[in-house]
Amino acid sequence: MNTVRWGIIGCGNVTEVKSGPALQKAQGSALVAVMRRDAARAADYAARHGVPRWYDDAARLIADPEVDAVYVATPPGSHMEYTLAAAAAGKSVYVEKPMARNHAECLRMIEACDRAGVKLFVAYYRRALPRFLKVKRLLDDGAIGLVRCVTVTLFAPPESDDLRRDDLPWRVRPELSGGGRFLDLGSHTLDLLDFLLGPVVEAAGRADNQAGLYPAEDIVAGVWKHDRGAIGSGVWCFAAGTRHEMNEIVGSAGKIRFSSFGNDPVLLERGGNVERFEIEHPPHVQQPLIQTVVDDLLGRGVCPSTGRTGARTSWVMDRMLADWRARSTRVP
């Protein structure tokens, strides 16, 4: 095989710019089929993006003999179902983040893919973006000495659709997402820190619902420890009156500040001096990671975001949400 032929299950907003065109533009990659339960929308997506075939049934896309690998871009509540089906058909899987609603589902996905002899990747695309690779090079080169701690802050007002009590978005419906916006956004940063500082070996947290807009938690505070010794702490609040997001990694000889979601420059502070690194994202932000997925499937490289790394991030979030989930009756 010198070209990976992809089928997408769930061609929603994330696939319009971030990932769908990247599957077409990556070297050795082709997007040959898409699926959406709404047939008209599936047909429209295929026409607009020049995709040869469309389906309104995931089973038919998975069974398509011209589909080599499946990209699961649905809400997390169906990630495990579709991954298990694709693995049973002998097809490798690239699944959106968070990998699943909880760590237990992640383990089932890994087991199914291992048993079928197929590969499993997770769309934590920040592991391959140039600005975060720059942060990793600074850390690996000892730019701030030995890493001591990392702090994460994310404050944001409720989204407008959070106010639709009778039609809430899937991101704040635990049966579909596993929790609230923490799983959707916090997972990106926690996975990135796994990549930058090593796996987390201890984690705990406290979560609550302060605004009462939806069933899921809307604030999470966590503490954790990386296997190389760095201690982490973070607060994610989605019912604040202001918006702010920043990460700070402190070492024995300086610190690095960077945003997970904004376009702020990466800042390196040491010896009383501040260096700024302005690094833009590519037009299709998932393309660098998708290229590593394709290269891995073609035997010419290794992808840094696998089922096992993705499951580690879900384990950390499970630990932070354990107390909240024990108190809530609406979490899977």
**pLDDT digits 0-9 by tens, 10-20:** 999 999 999 99
Q: How confident is the model at residue 1 (pLDDT cuts 50, 70, 90)?
A: confident
Of residues 331 and 127, more confidence is placed in 127
- Checking if the pLDDT of 332 tops 60, the result is no
| Residue 298 belongs to domain spanning | 4-125+286-303
Q: If you count them, how many residues does the chain have?
A: 332
Answer yes or no: do 225 and 87 share one domain.
no
For the segment 63-115, what is each residue's pLDDT rounded down to a tens digit?
Answer: 999 999 999 999 999 999 999 999 999 999 999 999 999 999 999 999 999 99
Inside any domain, residue 266: yes
CA distance 275 to 143: 11
- Distant-in-sequence, close-in-space partners of 245: CB < 8 Å, separation ≥ 6: 153, 154, 155, 156, 259, 260, 261, 262
Is 66 among the domain residues?
yes
Tell me, what's the pLDDT at 281? 96
pLDDT band at 307 (very low <50, low <70, confident <90, very high): very high
Residues 117 and 150 in one domain: no
- The candidate with the shortest Cα–Cα distance to 209, out of 77, 329, 102, is 329
- Tell me what percent of the residues of the chain surpass a pLDDT of 90: 98
Question: Is the predicted pLDDT of residue 238 greater than 90, yes or no?
Answer: yes
173 & 117 share domain:
no
Mean pLDDT confidence for 291-319: 98
Q: Smallest Cα–Cα separation from 134: which of 278, 287, 306, 288?
A: 278
Q: Is residue 9 part of a domain?
A: yes
For residue 247, the domain's CATH number is 3.30.360.10
Give the integer Cα–Cα distance in Å for 155 and 19: 27
User: 237 to each of 109, 154, 242, how far by Cα in Å?
Assistant: 30, 6, 10
Task: Give the pLDDT confidence score for residue 331 in this predicted structure.
Answer: 54
Say yes or no: 65 and 140 in one domain: no
User: Tens digit of pLDDT for each residue in 187-225?
Assistant: 999 999 999 999 999 999 999 999 999 999 999 999 999
Same structural domain, 186 and 97: no
CA 302 vs CA 136, 290, 292, 298, 299: distances in Å: 17, 11, 6, 10, 8
Give whole-number Cα distances, 317 to 98, 290, 310, in Å: 10, 25, 11
Q: Pairing mode, if any, of strands 266-270 and 273-277?
A: antiparallel
* Domain annotation covers residue 270: yes
pLDDT of residue 330: 56
Do 121 and 132 fall within a single domain? no
179 and 318, same domain (yes or no): yes
**Residues 149-177: what's their mean pLDDT?**
96
Position 332 in a domain: no
Q: Based on the domain organization, do 138 and 198 belong to the same domain?
A: yes
For position 206, what pLDDT does the model report?
98
Do residues 210 and 135 both lie within one domain?
yes
Measured between alpha carbons, how far is 267 from 274 in angstroms, rounded to an integer? 7
Residues 222 and 277 in one domain: yes
119 has a pLDDT exceeding 80: yes
Rounded distance between C-alpha atoms, residue 162 and residue 195, angstroms: 31
Residue whose C-alpha is closest to residue 185's, from 76, 240, 247, 260: 260
Task: Note whether residue 166 is domain-resident.
Answer: yes
Q: What percent of the chain has pLDDT over 70?
A: 99
Query: How many whole angstroms separate alpha carbon 190 and alpha carbon 104?
Result: 18
Q: 124: which 2 tokens?
A: 């934590």
- Ramachandran sector of residue 328 (left: φ over 0; alpha: ψ -120 to 50; beta: rest): beta
pLDDT band at 328 (very low <50, low <70, confident <90, very high): confident
What total number of domains does the chain contain?
2
In this structure, are 258 and 320 located in the same domain?
yes
Residue 195 belongs to some domain of the structure: yes
| Cβ contact 157:239 at 8 Å | yes
- For the segment 22-34, the average pLDDT, to the nearest whole number, is 98
Nearest to 21 by CA among 302, 290, 294, 250: 290
- Angle of helix 307-327 relative to helix 103-116, nearest 10 degrees, comes to 150
My answer on whether omega of the bond before 98 falls inside 30° of 0, hence cis, is yes
Same domain? For 155 and 256 the reply is yes
Beta strands 120-122 and 147-155 are unpaired
In a domain, 308, yes or no: no
Q: What is the pLDDT of residue 156?
A: 98
Q: Could you tell me the CATH number of the domain that includes residue 72? A: 3.40.50.720
286 Cα distance to chain centroid: 10
Mean pLDDT of the chain, nearest integer: 97
